Each structure stands twice: as structure tokens, then as C-alpha cells.
Chain A
Amino acid sequence: MSDVAQAHLQEQFEEPTQQREASTLGMWQFLATEVLFFGVLFAAYAVCRFRFPDGFAEAARHTHVVYGTIETAVLLVSSAGAALALRNVELGGRRVAALLLWGTALLGAVFLALHGVEYTKEFHEGLIPGLRFTHAGPQAHAVELFYCLYFVITGFHSLHVMIGVVLMSVMGWRTWRGRYAPGYVTPLENSALYWHFVDIVWIFVYPMIYLVGRAG
């Protein structure tokens, strides 16, 4: 086991545990930057929603909550897949783990496809600011503001999912080829961390965007 780790030891490190610690620390710091990156959007959303609570509620009622809910389920399952894949490799597995990782990637692609359908519907409903926005009524400007934020937030999130899909596919391939073993799973761990992060962002996005104004 430790031979695998030794084989992948980069020359700036003395020993595998040092490399693993550094690698993981780097990943967590990167995720911290992502929190702040998305944080701006959540802050903008919070400020705008505080100013236009009714408008945002009306706007949120036009979102496609069924699609959003399915997307949430899809991402949660995909995260479970990634975690199981990691566990599998840690216990000596290879093929099952690779299939799970590809499954995760596939579910990510399904998520993106569903989003694509949503965006298409929003185009036909005239809810895309700057491109085709036909919603009228007294709250029109707040609705438009909501949809500005909706497209930016879900757009950036989808971009991250896309990167994750590629990442998981590559990791699946590498796992299939036996690159990772019980003593050396750090790249898999870090990839899974990234995927979980993308999932967690969605957990915040989903209620903010889809569930506002739907209670009662």
C-alpha cells in the first residue's frame, strides 16, 4: 500500500503523509475561496430580497420547482456515489469504485440537462433578463432582479458542476486503471470534496430560488 503512495511521492515532499496533508489543506483552502466567491451572490440575493420580499416571492413562484426538486435529489445521490466510491477504494476496490464515479459524473450530466430544460422553458416564458423578458405587472422590476440573480447563481453553479463532471470522469478512468489504492487515495478524496462542495452550494440555492413564497 505504502508503495503506491511512495510511487506517487513528489520530490518537494519528504514522505507521503506530508504530501497528503499538504494536498488536503490546499483543497480545503480552495473551497474556502469558493465559499467567498458564491458568498457575494448570496449576499446580493439577501440584500435584494430584503428590499423586495413580495416581488421575490412572486418571482420564485415562476420557477420550476419540480425540476429543481429532482435536481436536488440527483445531486444528493451523486454525492453519495462519490463517497461510496472513495470508501470502496480505501477498502481495496477498483471496478465498483470506477463505476460509481462514472455514475456520479452521469448524474451530474443529468443535472445539467435538467437545468438546460429549465432555461429553455424560461426562455419561452419570457423570463430571461436582457435576452427575453416579458413579465409585466406591478412587481415586474423585482421579478426581473430575481431572475438576474437566478441566472447568475445557477449559471456559475452549473459551470462548477460541468467542471466536476469532467473531474469525476477522469478520476473514474484513473480508478479503473488502478491508480489509487488503500494507502494512496488523496486525489480521490480531494475530488470528492470538490463534488460535495458543489452539492452543498446547491442545497443553499434550492430553497433560496425555488421554495420562496411557496409555503401556504
Chain B
Amino acid sequence: MSGTDLNVSIEPSYLVSGGNTLWSWLSTHDHKRIAILYALGITFFFFLGGAAAVMIRLELATPAGDLMTAETYNKTFTFHGIVMVWFFLVPSIPTTLGNFLVPMMIGARDMAFPRLNLFSWYLYMAAGVFTIAMLLLGGVDTGWTFYTPFSTMFSNTHVILAAVGVFVVGFSSILTGINILVTVHSLRAPGMHWFRLPLFVWAMYATSVVMVLATPVLAMTLALIALERLAGIGIFDPALGGDPLLFQHFFWFYSHPAVYIMVLPAMGVASELISMGARQKIFGYRFMTWSMLAIAVIGFMVWGHHMFVAGQSMYASMVFSILSFVVAVPSAIKVFNWVSTLYKGQIDFHAPMLYGLGFVGLFMLGGLTGLFLAATALDVNLTDTYFVVSHFHYIMVGGSVMAYLGGIHYWWPKITGRLYSERLARFAAILMFFGFNLTFFPQYLLGYLGMPRRYHEYLPKYQALNVLSSAGASILAVSYLLPLAYLGWSLFYGRKAGPNPFRATGLEWTTPSPPPTHNFAVTPVVTEGPYEYRS
């Protein structure tokens, strides 16, 4: 693609054209405005889930359950999980960066189904309303995993309301996935062959395959839980001959692929950040695309590794174990390729690159600990302890959140037309890296030493590590508030950005910052692959 031609348009930016009334935003079909609408919701839920995390870490600074009652604590970690998984991590990159960038990166004017896109956002917001209502009415205490029979027959909290909220946001997810898949299939500009697509687009594609196929299973499973509570339809009730383990199979059949929904987009962002930061083509582009598809497919075959000690057959566990090792191989390939991209590059350590490098390091550590959990003999000891908690936080927070923030920083000039304070951004990125490790590394040790998860009080011998973790959390919290502050500030007082402040390749950088509503004045014709950086 021609990186130097500027797609000059006399159309004003998307932030302005089409009006600036509230209604013009709430009825927009423009994928870029919809991305902004999502970003507002996503940010709100991130800090809401973060507030729950603060409560958790405050309680856990002391061994006794002295800050909240057990019930309140159980509701707090449940709320933290539900909000962070379904209202932040799953939608974050696909609906904000994905919505904004996929059409631009492929040279299209909008997504394939703009009205469906807006409808998806309304579903997300409606689901959010249900979830907040659930919170205000007293919360739910089953854990984000809703295990039966506790959730169906024993919990006295608002399980049905929570299930409805997640059911609805699941459909928002499905529709977004369909939109992205069809957009990538049908709307690529002339010359934009599959293997000329930026890896971010490949990542969105792989994520959407998983979103579309896995989420319906969650929807039906939650519907069954709600029906069992509401109408006594006891498919999981052991007294009727039902099976609580069947719930776990259904739930994890979605929820394991769901973690790939949460990490694949981050991998896509990381590829963009690293190639731009090193001013080089990503090393091993083809292997990078195949490995993302492999993760998406194999990810559907490993769900039983959440159930090694649940009562699952010994032989089924063996199969799930080897497949869980296998699914780590494509992730390893990606880590090595990212590192190789640095070789003979011209590396710039601006904030997006710092986030990208942080992602690679923390994702690798999280992935390595996954290997421990894939080994059934070790998992027996480690499952349901803080080792698992730390493992998934390394990937989802150290990985996905860092990549999300890195992407927000990288494309901020394009999205908003403003530049942020580079000095503050680098400081926040580095602070985040240290705060994160201080928060979560001690949790590996806690888990190995035997502290179970979802405990609001614990044996005093675990206190030292918990205090470290809580201290780290306070640093991490500050490092998340900083971007909120300086990015927000930049919206009003930041310097105006040019079309391509990072001198990056990619069709999105050939448009003005911010872009006009229809992205390109003339449909671009693509003649070369992505990442054609000239030295």
C-alpha cells in the first residue's frame, strides 16, 4: 500500500460531520463513532471492575475477614469476574480498536453491517444496565463461573438477573463477531489479498470465529441455569438424575475459548506495536497468521483442563492435558517471532512500544505458568489456588490490558486527532509493569504454598505475600488512573496530530487524523504487503 499518498478529502472529520448532537451519536452508523461509544462503556466497566478489585486487595491485606462480611466478599469477587470478563476483556479490543480500525486497515468505508453494529452496542449497554441493576439489588455470589448446584439450588442472590445480563452481552459479542468476519471476507480493497492483511486484522478474524461459535453455548448454558432457578427445570439437579458436572462441561466449552477471545486481539495489537516500534516487518508473518488460527481451533479442544479434579474421567483428563500442551506451541511461536522482529530493527521506545514489549514479557510468563497447569499431576495441587489466579491475571491483565492500552496510545492520534504527553505515558507504562508484577508474582507463590482462591480470610502464614500483592495493586491502580488523566487532558489541550505521527505503514495512516466519515475519498488499491518499512 502506498504509505506516502495522503487520502486527501474535503469531508470533515467523523467527530464533526453528521452533527454533534447526542442523537447524532446514538443513531450513528459510522463504525468509528460506534467504537467511541463502546470505548466509553468499556472504560466505565473497567473502573467499576477495578473498584471491586481494590476492595478485594484491601480485604486480603489482613488474614482475618475484617473489612467485609463473607457474603459481601463473595459478591465482590463475583462482580469483579463478571464485569472484567464480559464487560471489559471480551469486548474491549474488538469493539473499540477492532470496530475503528478493521474497515480502515482493509480499505473499506465502514463495516459490512453498520446498523447491526449499532444494535450490538445497544445490546452491550442494555446488558450493562441489567448488571448494574443486579449490583444495586444486592449482587450475586456464585463466582463468575456459576457452578451448579450452588447457583441453581443454594444461592440466595440475583443469579437470574446476572445470567440475563451475560446472556444479552453474549449476543452483542456474537453480532460483533459476525460483522467482523463478513467485513474481512467481503470488503477488502482491491489488491488487499489475505496475506497482505495486517496481523491485527487476522487477529480480529480469528477472535471473531471463536466469538461466533463459542458464545451461543454460554448463552444456552446460562439460560438453563436461569430456567432451573425459575421453573425448577432441573437438568443439572443430582436428585433428578441430572449432573452438576454437565454444567461444567458446557460452561468451560465456552469459557476456555473465551480466554482466547480475550488474548488473540491483544496478540494482534502487539504485532502492530512491535513492528512499528522496531520499524520492521514482523518476523515470520505466515507463521503468525497460522498460529493465531491454530490457537482459535485448538482452543476449542482443551476445556477439560479446568476439570482435572472435578470428577472427570482419568482418561479424558489425559487427552485434555496433552492438547493443553499442544495449544501452547503456537503461542510460543508468536513470542519468538515478536522477539525476532527486534533483531536488526530501529527500535524506538515510545509508550506504545513499551506497552508492546511489556505485553510480550508478561504474556510469556503467564503462558509458561499455563504449562504447569496443563500437567495433570501438578494441576491437582495448583488448581483452585492463587497459582491459577496469578496465571490468568498475567495473561489477561499483563497481556490483554497492556496490549489494549498500548493500542489506545498508538492509535490515539488517529482516533482523536490529538497527541498525549509522551513523558507521562512512558512513566505510566513502566509504573504499570512494576505494579503489575508486584501485585501478581507473589500470588504464584501463594498458590504453590497452598492458599486457595475465593477466600476472604486465610491462614496467617500467607499474610506477607498478600501484603506485597496489595501494595502492588495500589501502584497498579495509580498506573491505570494516569492514562485516564493525561489522555482525557489531551482531548482538550493536546497538540493536534498529523496524519501519521509514528511514520507507520498501514492504510489507516494514509487518512487525516481524525479520519473523515467515509475513511477514504478514493478506494485505495493495494500493491504490497503490510509492514513495508524502508530504512
Q: Report if B178 contacts A (CB, 8 A).
A: yes
Per-position 1/0 for B105-137, Cβ under 8 A of A: 000111111101000000000000000000000
* Choice from B179, B187, B213 contacting A33 with Cβ under 8 Å: B213
Determine the residue in chain A with the shortest Cβ distance to B175.
A30
Chain B interface residue count, CB cutoff 8 Å, equals: 45
Determine the residue in chain A with the shortest Cβ distance to B110.
A12
Across-interface contacts of A216 in B (CB, < 8 A):
none
Which residues from 161 to 187 on chain B have a C-beta closer than 8 Å to any C-beta of chain A? 174, 177-179, 181-183, 185-187
Which residues from 10 to 32 on chain A have a C-beta closer than 8 Å to any C-beta of chain B? 10-14, 18, 21-22, 25-26, 29-30, 32
- Report how far A117 CA is from B3 CA in the complex, Å: 67
Whether B212 pairs with A25 at a CB distance below 8 angstroms is no
Known contacts A26-B113, A48-B235; is-contact A152 B227 (Cβ 8 Å): yes
- Chain A interface category by residue count: 35 or more
Whether A39 pairs with B217 at a CB distance below 8 angstroms is yes
Across-interface contacts of A13 in B (CB, < 8 A):
187
* Choice from B216, B221, B227 contacting A34 with Cβ under 8 Å: B216
Q: Report if A75 contacts B (CB, 8 A).
A: no
- Interface of chain A: mostly helix, strand, loop or mixed: helix
Q: Report if B319 contacts A (CB, 8 A).
A: no
- Report how far A48 CA is from B242 CA in the complex, Å: 7
Across-interface contacts of A148 in B (CB, < 8 A):
233-235, 240
Whether B219 pairs with A141 at a CB distance below 8 angstroms is no
- Report how far A48 CA is from B237 CA in the complex, Å: 12
- Report how far A10 CA is from B240 CA in the complex, Å: 54
- Report how far A34 CA is from B217 CA in the complex, Å: 9
- Interface of chain B: mostly helix, strand, loop or mixed: helix
Q: Report if B232 contacts A (CB, 8 A).
A: yes
Known contacts A37-B219, A141-B239; is-contact A26 B233 (Cβ 8 Å): no
Q: Report if B231 contacts A (CB, 8 A).
A: yes
- Report how far A170 CA is from B415 CA in the complex, Å: 39
Q: Report if B285 contacts A (CB, 8 A).
A: no
Q: Report if B480 contacts A (CB, 8 A).
A: no
- Report how far A142 CA is from B110 CA in the complex, Å: 53
Whether B213 pairs with A32 at a CB distance below 8 angstroms is yes
Per-position 1/0 for A53-95, Cβ under 8 A of B: 0010000000000000000000000000000000000000000
A-B contact pairs, 21 of them (CB 8 A): A10-B114, A11-B109, A11-B110, A12-B111, A13-B187, A22-B183, A26-B179, A32-B213, A33-B212, A33-B213, A39-B217, A40-B250, A43-B250, A44-B235, A48-B241, A129-B231, A130-B231, A144-B240, A145-B242, A148-B240, A152-B233
> Knowing that A25-B186, A48-B242 are A-B contacts, what are 14 other residue pairs whose CB atoms are under 8 Å apart, sorted by A's residue number?
A12-B114, A26-B112, A26-B113, A30-B178, A33-B174, A36-B213, A37-B219, A51-B241, A130-B231, A145-B240, A145-B241, A152-B224, A152-B227, A152-B233
